Every structure is written in C-alpha cells, then in structure tokens.
C-alpha cells in the first residue's frame, strides 16, 4: 500500500505530491523518519511513485520539506523531513 507524501517549497508553498511504499521498511527497526526517507529514495530509484526528477536529498538540501501525514508504519504519526539525510 502506497502512502502519499507532499513536497513543499522553502517558502511553504505546495510543490508536488508523490506516493511511497513504506511497507517494506516496517520490520527493519527503523525510526519513522528513516523509514520515510528510505521509502522516498527507493521510489526515486525505481521511478514508480516518485513524481519528481530530483533525488530526495537534493530537494532537502535546497530547503524543500517532505511531509507525510499518515505514514504506513507501526509507530505512525505525521512526519516532516527538512534536512538532508545520510543513507
């Protein structure tokens, strides 16, 4: 099941929506932020649900925000990624 993520510009204006699959990261004992980031990278690399041509880290380093209101994770709560992350 894919989860919708919203991408916002540094100004706070909505930029795009994409879909990521967090299901495969459920049982890896990852923090929810790490699971969301890895799901975004996976979708970017596979070219399926990630609507953008930019790598998630590229967006984050330019000040964009990636927000997921309803992540598919065992410790589910809204998540916002704002800073570049290491893989």
CB 43 within 8 A of CB 55: no
Listed in sequence order, the residues at least 6 apart from 23 whose beta carbon sits closer than 8 Å to its beta carbon are 1, 72
Residues belonging to the chain: 87
Closest by alpha carbon to 9, among 58, 80, 64, 82? 64
58-76 pLDDT, tens digit per residue, is: 899 999 999 998 877 666 7
E runs forming strands in 1-87: 2-8, 14-21, 65-68, 79-81
35-52 pLDDT, tens digit per residue, is: 888 888 888 888 766 777
Token representation of residue 26 = 């459920």
pTM over 0.85: no
């Amino acid at each position: 099941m894919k989860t919708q993520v919203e991408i916002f510009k540094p100004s706070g204006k909505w930029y795009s929506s994409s879909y990521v699959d967090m299901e495969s990261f459920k049982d890896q004992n990852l923090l929810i932020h790490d699971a969301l980031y890895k799901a975004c990278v996976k979708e970017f690399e596979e070219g399926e649900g990630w609507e953008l041509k930019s790598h998630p880290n590229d967006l984050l380093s330019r000040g964009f925000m990636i927000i997921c209101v309803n992540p598919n994770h065992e410790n589910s709560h809204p998540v916002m990624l704002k800073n570049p992350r290491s893989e």
